[in-house]
Amino acid sequence: MDDKTLETLGAISAATVTMQLLKRGIRNISMAGVRPLNDPPQPLVGPAYTLRYVPLREDLSVPEVLGQPDYPPRLAIEQAPEGSVLVIDGRGIADIAVVGDLLVERLKIRGVAGLVSDGGVRDCAEALAVGLALYAAGPAAPASVAGHAAADIETPIACGGVAVFPGDIICADGDGVVVVPKALAAEVAEDGLEQERYERFAKLKIKEGRKVPGVYPPNEETKAEYAAWLKAGEPEG
């Protein structure tokens, strides 16, 4: 993914992204039950690097696995590329943590952009103090082995009821977490930027006392006014 597309997606809101995807017939892209933990929310954009958990199995979900170098969560922490977003399928179980502050610290040091999961975060206050963008179900005390078995990395997963494929673009802010199919990212970014430009103009018209019908969406008269506004350099008032 080119830097310009990521930069543009970072300049527009998650709400705008959802509208652009809706116009392209893509609806199930906003994660349910996943919220920003940072206060204020820390905007996040980057390609997804995925980690999948499956239900607990007693021979696999034991503390001893945490020290194994090929344990998938350890591989994910060490292999997620700089600028990526680690997306963890926590099976929608909010009261089981999928990371804690030590792993979050390691992600931050390695240059990972942030973490998204429909599971919990343990040692949450310490994890937030690291300064990494965190989007999850909320704080949770039990470690992952208390309820999950680690399955694999860099495979398609579910997170918050949304399919996430490796390389999909994650866009997150205070409104939530949105998954953008990689193939659509560039056009969503470009058209989203134009959408927000028009919305700035529409807000000016509404502040002037105009009714919403005819302004949003615009009729022909408003389109002409918008063209003139662009030509004038997008004045604020």
Read off the pLDDT of residues 32-70 as tens digits, 9 standing for 90 and up: 999 999 999 999 999 999 999 999 999 989 998 988 889
Give me the pLDDT at residue 60, please.
87
Residue 110 is assigned to a structural domain of this protein: yes
Report whether pLDDT(229) > 80.
yes
Residue 52 is assigned to a structural domain of this protein: yes
Q: Which long-range contacts (C-beta less than 8 Å, at least 24 apart) are formed by 119-122?
A: 119/53, 119/88, 119/90, 119/91, 119/92, 119/93, 119/94, 119/144, 119/148, 120/90, 120/93, 120/94, 120/95, 120/96, 121/37, 121/97, 122/97
Shared domain for 108 and 40, answered yes or no, is: yes
Shared domain for 63 and 37, answered yes or no, is: yes
Q: What's the number of domains the chain is made of?
A: 2
Shared domain for 93 and 148, answered yes or no, is: yes
Give me the pLDDT at residue 45, please.
98
Shared domain for 140 and 214, answered yes or no, is: no
| Mean pLDDT over each residue of the chain, to the nearest integer | 97
Shared domain for 191 and 93, answered yes or no, is: no
Model confidence band, residue 228 (pLDDT cutoffs 50, 70, 90): very high
What domain range includes position 213? 187-231
Shared domain for 157 and 225, answered yes or no, is: no
The pTM for the full model equals 0.95
Give me the pLDDT at residue 166, please.
98
Shared domain for 138 and 207, answered yes or no, is: no
Report whether pLDDT(147) > 90.
yes
